[in-house]
Structure 1
Amino acid sequence: MRFTPLVAACALFFLLFSGTAHATAYPVKDPALTRNKLYRTGELRPSACPERAIEANDVPSAKRYLTAVFNCLNASWGAHLKRAGMPFAKARIGFITKPRRYCGDRWGKHTAGVYCPAERRFLIILDDDTIGEPEDLFLFMLVAHEYAHHVQNVTGMGRAFDRYPYRSKSELNEQIRRNELQAQCLAGVFMGSVWNSLDRTGEDWEELLDVNRESGDEWTKARDHGKGRNIAAWLDKGFRSKSPASCNTWTVPSSRVA
Structure 2
Amino acid sequence: MRFTPILVGCTLFSLLLSGTANAAFHPINDSVLTQNKLYRSGKLKPSECPERRIKPNDVPSAKRYLTSVMNCLNASWGTYFKRAGLPFTKAEIGFITKPKRFCGQPWGKETAGTYCDAEQRFLVILDDDTLSDPSDLYLFQVAAHEYGHHIQNITGMGRAFEYHPYKGKSELNEQIRRNELQAECLGGVFTGSVWNSLDRTEADWEELLDITRDSGDEHSKVRDHGKGRNIAAWLDKGFRATSPAACNTWTARAPQVS
TM-score bucket (shorter structure): over 0.9
1:254 maps to amino acid: A
Structure 1: any 5+ residue segments left out of the alignment?
A: 15-24
Shift of 1:213: 1.2
Q: Deviations over 1:151-182 (max 9, x none)?
A: 00000000000001111000000000000000
2:34 maps to amino acid: T
For 2:16, the equivalent position in structure 1 comes to: none
Q: Deviations over 1:163-216 (max 9, x none)?
A: 011110000000000000000000000000000000000000011111111220
For 1:196, the equivalent position in structure 2 comes to: 196
Shift of 1:4: 2.9
For 1:75, the equivalent position in structure 2 comes to: 75
For 2:132, the equivalent position in structure 1 comes to: 132
1:189 maps to amino acid: V
Tell me if 1:240 matches 2:217: no
CA distance in 1, matches of 2:65, 2:5: 19
CA distance in 1, matches of 2:252, 2:35: 13
2:143 maps to amino acid: V
Q: Deviations over 1:76-103 (max 9, x none)?
A: 0111011111111010110011111100
CA distance in 2, matches of 1:7, 1:123: 13
SS of the aligned residue for 1:250 comes to helix
Q: Deviations over 1:34-86 (max 9, x none)?
A: 00000001000000000000000100000000000000000001110111111
For 2:225, the equivalent position in structure 1 comes to: 225
SS of the aligned residue for 1:56 comes to coil
Tell me if 1:93 matches 2:93: yes
Aligned pairs for 1:177-216 within 5 A: 177-216=177-216
CA distance in 2, matches of 1:252, 1:114: 24
For 2:256, the equivalent position in structure 1 comes to: 256
The answer to whether the 8 Å contact 1:2/1:116 transfers is: no
Query: Percent identity of the aligned residues?
Result: 70
For 1:19, the equivalent position in structure 2 comes to: none
Shift of 1:132: 1.1
SS of the aligned residue for 2:186 comes to helix
Shift of 1:110: 1.4
> Structure 1 segments of 4 or more deviating over 4 A?
none
For 1:17, the equivalent position in structure 2 comes to: none
CA distance in 2, matches of 1:244, 1:26: 22
The answer to whether the 8 Å contact 1:182/1:248 transfers is: yes
Shift of 1:2: 3.0
For 1:6, the equivalent position in structure 2 comes to: 6
1:172 maps to amino acid: L
CA distance in 2, matches of 1:121, 1:180: 17
2:127 maps to amino acid: D
Shift of 1:7: 2.3
For 1:114, the equivalent position in structure 2 comes to: 114
The answer to whether the 8 Å contact 2:7/2:215 transfers is: no
1:135 maps to amino acid: S
SS of the aligned residue for 2:53 comes to coil
1:44 maps to amino acid: L
CA distance in 2, matches of 1:183, 1:134: 22
Shift of 1:217: 0.7
CA distance in 2, matches of 1:223, 1:101: 23
Shift of 1:5: 1.6
CA distance in 1, matches of 2:41, 2:112: 30
User: How many residues end up aligned between the 2 structures?
Assistant: 245
Superposition TM-score, scaled by structure 1 size: 0.93
1:82 maps to amino acid: K
Structure 2: any 5+ residue segments left out of the alignment?
A: 11-24
Shift of 1:3: 3.3
For 1:157, the equivalent position in structure 2 comes to: 157
SS of the aligned residue for 2:52 comes to coil
SS of the aligned residue for 2:51 comes to coil
For 2:105, the equivalent position in structure 1 comes to: 105
CA distance in 2, matches of 1:2, 1:90: 21
SS of the aligned residue for 2:251 comes to coil
